[in-house]
């Protein structure tokens, strides 16, 4: 569902009226109820998935407001906001952000600029055809912020640490002076890459100019990547310690060292940075080869076999948290047949494991519940996934999150959204900004919080990530064949061509989050 005339004009698109008529089933648009989840049975979601998506996008889009998800003044994302325990209205804004949240924001804008009707439903539901220009205008403001940040803190070489984004000028967040993480920035660079592709497809001069501006930023971070993150022998710093963030990268007194002996060598989200170094990093070819060799130990095979389901060959997870799939929203991994099949198998395991363990939802690293007495979030639950197919066995499984479903959505929207629905129908799991961060499986508490990570991952997955844009740009850059070659080489080494369990269906939810006496948020109650 793309705009037809978009790439030609940029601004003057097809009229709002004809877009409305183009909706699935020719239905007239309606503003869905805030608590729409309760109006849909699982069967409805499976049968009328596109209509369900239309409701979902409308409400998740309410998160995208100035002072909630982003700062209109500087174009930068905010981490998210906490919600009032009774009403669900926003309370404490998280006035900080990071490159990973920026990546989600930019991926969303890339698809809006490319003419995705779904991205427009999220961003500008009142006038779908205004989405590309709207997204581009925020990207223009954002670029100025990135340039300014680079001027103020040249030692970051254009990259972003955790940042404070509530003032016009972005500053380094507490605890991040002279430090920069690789993983989040790997996510960011490919989002920008996709967005440049989308911008360039518009012939209008303002889009072209913006594309050039972002390409300059990307070229610059490519030029500093190896200097800042690579320390030789195939090793990339997980976090780099900068000698002095106010000194330019190439200043004779500037230094870069890995903060610890913790390297970015995972086959998960961190791999986005490896591919960036491979294609754009300024380092010798033999070192590029070493990057892949160094990473090999962590790409491992595992077999899911539990509760009568299996064996299913999967890639071993760290926790097998859905978060680990993030890179697959950015790079066209699924163009390699064995890789696509392998990750589809992973979703067989993910969905069926929750049926086998009688869980009403899916697992991913997520914020724990709110303590209603003190109105604080109890903490962050990193260890959430599937222990039997993960390297980390010690896990916590009392909390599920709607974003656990986004990797399923990448393969099967209907089944993925059946899981998403199954979690949001829990008490308090919808609020005036769409879905809520997480719920305890016993229904006793939720995390009264909304964040890019827990919400927009699913939205971006519904848009197919940005793999289509990245693929096209890789082709024009002449690096696509090499991407396919490396991806195939690394996976065939470990998995060969044969996988077990490919005849097993994705599983649908069978349990529900019980009603344990929580009341829905009063500003998002069922009204039917
Ligand atoms: C919708 O947006 C387009 C593009 O910005 C604009 O030309 C058009 O006038 C808008 N339509 C309405 C009804 O506001
Ligand atoms: C970042 O700052 C450096 C100076 O430290 C400058 O040479 C470079 O062009 C700037 N890059 C961007 C993208 O603004
Ligand atoms: C580098 O640091 C030393 C010691 O602090 C100082 O004397 C020198 O002037 C600095 N070099 C430059 C080019 O700033
Ligand atoms: C959890 O909270 C942190 C800090 O506020 C935030 O960055 C993150 O996006 C939240 N959600 C998830 C799923 O990580
Ligand atoms: C999550 O919060 C609950 C309290 O609701 C607590 O018992 C549990 O230990 C927390 N889990 C983690 C992993 O922090």
SS (H, E, C) 419-449: HHHHHHCCCCCEECCEECCEEECCCCCEECE
Does position 200 have pLDDT exceeding 50, yes or no?
yes
Is 435:399 a contact under the CB 8 Å cutoff? no
For the chain, counts of helices (H) and of strands (E): 17, 22
3-state SS string for 448-494: CEEEHHHHHHHHHHHCCCCHHHHHHHHHHHCCHHHHHHHHHHHHHHH
Residue 484: the pLDDT is 98
- Cα–Cα distance measured from residue 497 to residue 504, given in angstroms and rounded to the nearest whole number: 17
Does position 386 have pLDDT exceeding 60, yes or no?
yes
Which residue is it, tokens 């059946």?
A: 418
Please write the tens of the pLDDT for every residue from 293-331. Answer: 999 999 999 999 999 999 999 999 999 999 999 999 999
Indicate the top mutation candidate among 143, 158, 189, 227 to test ligand 2's pocket, ranked by most ligand atoms within 8 A of CB.
Answer: 158
Does position 370 have pLDDT exceeding 80, yes or no?
yes
Does position 218 have pLDDT exceeding 90, yes or no?
yes
CB atoms within 10 A of CB 379: 10
**What percent of the chain is predicted at pLDDT more than 90?**
94
Tell me the sheet residues that pair with 82: 449
Does position 22 have pLDDT exceeding 90, yes or no?
no
The pLDDT-based confidence of 527 (bands split at 50, 70, 90) is confident
Indicate the top mutation candidate among 150, 154, 160, 188 to test ligand 2's pocket, ranked by most ligand atoms within 8 A of CB.
Answer: 150
CB within 8 A of 304, min separation 6: which ones?
A: 310, 311, 312, 314, 348, 349, 352, 353, 386, 388, 389, 501
- Cα–Cα distance measured from residue 388 to residue 407, given in angstroms and rounded to the nearest whole number: 19
CA 166 to chain centre: 22
* Residue of minimum CA distance from atom 7 in ligand 1: 12
Q: From 358, 420, 322, select the one nearest 45 (Cα to Cα).
A: 420
List helix spans (H) across 249-378: 271-280, 285-295, 337-356
The pLDDT-based confidence of 18 (bands split at 50, 70, 90) is very low
CB within 8 A of 120, min separation 6: which ones?
A: 112, 128, 129, 130, 131, 132
CB atoms within 10 A of CB 522: 11
Residue 149: the pLDDT is 98
157-177 burial by CB neighbour count: b if 16+ within 10 A, else e?
Answer: bbbbbbbbbbeeebbbbeebe
Q: From 232, 99, 211, 97, select the one nearest 158 (Cα to Cα).
A: 99
CB within 8 A of 50, min separation 6: which ones?
A: 24, 25
The pLDDT-based confidence of 219 (bands split at 50, 70, 90) is very high
231 CA → ligand 1 middle, Å = 51
Q: Is 252 in the pocket of ligand 3 (CB under 6 A)?
A: yes
Strands 96-97 and 163-164: antiparallel
Take residue 20 and report the two structure tokens written for it.
């409305």
Ramachandran class of 157: left when φ > 0, alpha when ψ lies in -120 to 50, beta otherwise: left
131 CA → ligand 1 middle, Å = 10
* Residue of minimum CA distance from atom 14 in ligand 2: 147
The pLDDT-based confidence of 137 (bands split at 50, 70, 90) is very high
Does position 23 have pLDDT exceeding 80, yes or no?
no
CA 434 to chain centre: 16
The pLDDT-based confidence of 16 (bands split at 50, 70, 90) is very low
Residue 11: the pLDDT is 33
Q: Is 188 in the pocket of ligand 1 (CB under 6 A)?
A: no
Q: Which of 11-15, 90-94, 398-402 is least confident?
A: 11-15
Handedness of CA 473, 474, 476, 481 (dihedral sign): negative
- pTM, to two decimals: 0.95
- DSSP H/E element including 60: helix 49-60
Average pLDDT estimate for 182-190: 98
Pocket of ligand 4 (CB under 6 A): 79, 94, 366-367, 380, 451, 453-454
Domain boundaries, the chain: 37-66+299-527, 68-298
Average pLDDT estimate for 139-168: 98
Mean pLDDT of the chain: 94
* Residue of minimum CA distance from atom 8 in ligand 3: 253
Average pLDDT estimate for 124-147: 98
Please write the tens of the pLDDT for every residue from 260-294. Answer: 999 999 999 999 999 999 999 999 999 999 999 99
Please write the tens of the pLDDT for every residue from 109-122. Answer: 999 999 999 999 99
Ligand 3 atom with the shortest distance to the CA of 251: 13
CB atoms within 10 A of CB 498: 9
């Amino acid at each position: 569902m793309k705009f037809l005339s978009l790439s030609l004009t940029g601004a003057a698109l097809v009229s709002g009226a004809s877009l409305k008529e183009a909706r699935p089933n020719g239905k007239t648009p309606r503003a869905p109820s805030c608590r729409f989840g309760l109006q849909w049975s699982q069967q409805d979601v499976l049968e009328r998935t596109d209509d369900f998506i239309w409701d979902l996008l409308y409400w998740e889009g309410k998160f995208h407001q100035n002072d909630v998800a982003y700062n209109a003044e500087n174009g930068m994302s905010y981490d998210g906001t906490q919600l009032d325990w009774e009403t669900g209205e926003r309370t404490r804004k998280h006035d900080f952000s990071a490159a990973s949240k920026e990546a989600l924001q930019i991926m969303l804008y890339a698809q809006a600029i490319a003419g995705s009707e779904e991205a427009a439903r999220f961003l500008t539901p009142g006038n779908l055809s205004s989405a590309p220009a709207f997204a581009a205008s925020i990207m223009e403001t954002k670029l100025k912020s990135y340039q300014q940040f680079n001027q103020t803190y040249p030692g970051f070489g254009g990259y972003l640490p955790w940042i404070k984004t509530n003032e016009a000028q972005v500053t380094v967040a507490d605890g991040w002076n002279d430090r920069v993480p690789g993983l989040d920035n790997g996510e960011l660079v490919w989002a920008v890459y996709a967005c440049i592709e989308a911008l360039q497809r518009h012939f209008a001069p303002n889009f072209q100019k913006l594309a050039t501006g972002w390409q300059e930023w990307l070229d610059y971070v490519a030029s500093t990547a190896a200097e800042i993150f690579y320390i030789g022998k195939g090793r990339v710093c997980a976090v780099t310690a900068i000698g002095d963030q106010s000194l330019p990268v190439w200043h004779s007194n500037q230094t870069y060292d890995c903060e610890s002996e913790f390297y970015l060598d995972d086959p998960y989200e961190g791999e986005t940075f490896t591919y960036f170094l491979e294609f754009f990093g300024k380092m010798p070819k033999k070192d590029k080869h070493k990057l892949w060799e160094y990473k090999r130990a962590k790409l491992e095979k595992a077999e899911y076999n539990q509760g009568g389901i299996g064996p299913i060959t999967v890639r071993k997870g760290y926790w097998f948290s859905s978060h680990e799939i993030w890179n697959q929203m950015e790079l066209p991994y699924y163009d390699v047949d064995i890789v696509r099949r392998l990750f589809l198998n992973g979703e067989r395991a993910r969905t069926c494991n929750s049926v086998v363990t009688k869980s009403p939802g899916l697992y991913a690293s997520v914020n724990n519940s709110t303590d209603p007495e003190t109105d604080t979030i109890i903490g962050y639950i990193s260890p959430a996934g599937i222990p039997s197919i993960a390297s980390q066995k010690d896990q916590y499984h009392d909390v599920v999150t709607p974003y656990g479903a986004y990797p399923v959505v990448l393969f099967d929207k209907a089944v993925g959204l059946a899981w998403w629905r199954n979690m949001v129908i829990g008490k308090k799991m919808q609020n005036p900004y769409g879905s809520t961060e997480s719920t305890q499986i016993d229904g006793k508490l939720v995390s009264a919080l909304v964040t890019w990570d827990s919400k927009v991952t699913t939205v971006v997955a519904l848009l197919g990530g940005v793999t289509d844009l990245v693929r096209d740009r890789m082709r024009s850059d002449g690096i696509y064949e090499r991407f396919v070659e490396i991806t195939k080489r690394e996976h065939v080494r470990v998995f060969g061509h044969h996988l077990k369990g490919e005849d097993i269906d994705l599983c649908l939810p069978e349990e529900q989050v019980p009603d344990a006496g929580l009341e829905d948020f009063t500003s998002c109650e069922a009204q039917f």
